[in-house]
Amino acid sequence: MDKLQRTKVVDVLRRTDFGADVNVKGWVRTHRSSKAVDFIALNDGSTIKNVQLVVDPTHFDAELLKQITTGACISATGVLVESQGQGQSSEIQCRDITLYGGCATDYPMQKKGQSFEYMRQHAHLRLRTNTFGAVMRIRHHMAIAIHQYFHEHGFFYFHTPLITASDAEGAGEMFQVTTKNLYDLEKDENGKIIYSDDFFGKMTSLTVSGQLEGELGATALGQIYTFGPTFRAENSNTPRHLAEFWMIEPEVAFIELADLMHLEEDFIKYCVRWALEKCRDDLEFLNKMIDPTLLDRLEGVVREDFVRLTYTDGIRILEEAVKGGRKFEFPISWGMDLASEHERFLVEEHFKKPVIMTDYPKGIKAFYMKLNDDGKTVQGTDVLFPQIGEIIGGSVREENYDKLVAQIEERQIPMKDMWWYLDTRRYGTCPHGGFGLGFERLILFVTGMQNIRDVIPFPRTPKSAEF
């Protein structure tokens, strides 16, 4: 048993009290052997950096040293000394090693240069690699930054249900929740499943958004935010979609369009600034290994004012680009939903800075968005980012009861279970609005990773629910 209390690697590397005894525990990254000296790089997940253990092989059992291979877990005690080599300021002259767990030679993460696709097949072990350690530490910091921002600005953290009978997006791509025997479903004369004997007595699903319930919170507490898992049974096998992901959804009473756009910009800049200040080592690693433009792009977001652009003006810019010879896979016309290539053209090539697009055609946006006086467009806002496209979607909500009901009926949305939502427009309605930010899209941007499956520990995608 080690008498010394364990010190995390991140703390050992900050220390300058050379000559002190220290104990570290972690997993071996590399082990280089020679007759005169062995070097073991040890990492415990607390930092992207390893601590170097300097081992005199004549003082250790040769069989023990053979077992200290990449992936093995050890405890090491020794003297903290100033490093003689480059790349680290301190190292540990090792006098005692305890092997907690050896690592078989078929350890999947021991080879260099594995593809991300390969590592997804071993998602239970990929977290031990430098890249995924960096991504997960940044993910943690972004979660803290989000809570901190809203707390500092007087928002209340509001928990909305994960099991719901409503479909906020009206898309219908939801995972059902049931206790019924799927092999013996009772149906009515029209062939529809009878849910009266199910747990909730009605058809229920996993939530696609906490927004509608969040509006109830905002009309009571003034300003709230949700931050939790959401689920979409969308059969999209793309680098941008997950079936299970996390959403941040603030909702604010008495907010107007200009203030909503300011909130979106201020919030995202706060998060990026937090990453630059508190995740520097991990960002520098990702900038070196994954995306050499990452740090410049993050610093640009903090520095630049976001462009405010109406949808109509955006379409005009895209049409002019096509006339000038720019080719897009999808055609441009007013009334269409912009594709990612269109969004990225506006952000990366035309303005070269983030864009907040507003005033979309009502037909391509959700039923709850506030109708403009022109009767054709709604007060929706999308924040468009380089490399990502849309990162935030928001709107001022339609607070007028009659107009909201008209939109529901026009779109033929089944609202028999939504009486409670309409009550907010019957009992003391107020102007209000908010936005939704996909947490993984934020992590994609902040880390420079290219696939959304690589910024969540265990991705859930079509035909994939491993680990």
Tens-digit pLDDT profile for residues 294-334: 999 999 999 999 999 999 999 999 999 999 999 999 999 99
Over range 3-20, report the average pLDDT: 94
State both tokens at 375.
């009767």
The pLDDT of residue 258: 97
The residue count for the chain: 467
Q: Is the dihedral of CA 159, 163, 166, 172 positive or negative?
A: positive
User: What is the model's pTM?
Assistant: 0.94
Q: Identify the bridge partners of residue 156 per DSSP, sorted by sequence position.
A: 224
The pLDDT of residue 239: 84
CB 358 within 8 A of CB 346: no
CB 172 within 8 A of CB 195: no
pLDDT confidence bin for 441, thresholds 50/70/90: very high
- In tens, the pLDDT along 100-154 reads 999 999 999 987 778 999 999 999 999 999 999 999 999 999 999 999 999 999 9
Q: Is the dihedral of CA 318, 236, 133, 264 positive or negative?
A: positive
CB 369 within 8 A of CB 398: yes
Q: ∠ at Cα 441 (210, 264), nearest 5°?
A: 65
- In tens, the pLDDT along 14-43 reads 999 999 999 999 999 999 998 899 999 999
User: b vs e for 425-460, b when ≥16 Cβ sit within 10 Å of the residue's Cβ?
Assistant: beeebebbbbbbbbbbbbbbbbbbbeebbbbbeebb
The pLDDT of residue 89: 86
The pLDDT of residue 1: 45
- In tens, the pLDDT along 54-107 reads 999 999 999 999 999 999 999 999 999 998 777 778 999 999 999 999 999 999
User: Measured between alpha carbons, how far is 466 from 123 in angstroms, rounded to an integer?
Assistant: 8
CB 269 within 8 A of CB 303: no
User: b vs e for 22-47, b when ≥16 Cβ sit within 10 Å of the residue's Cβ?
Assistant: bbbbbbbbebeeeeeebebbbbbebb
Instruction: Look at residue 231 and tell me whether its pLDDT is greater than 60.
Output: yes
The pLDDT of residue 88: 78
- In tens, the pLDDT along 331-345 reads 999 999 999 899 999
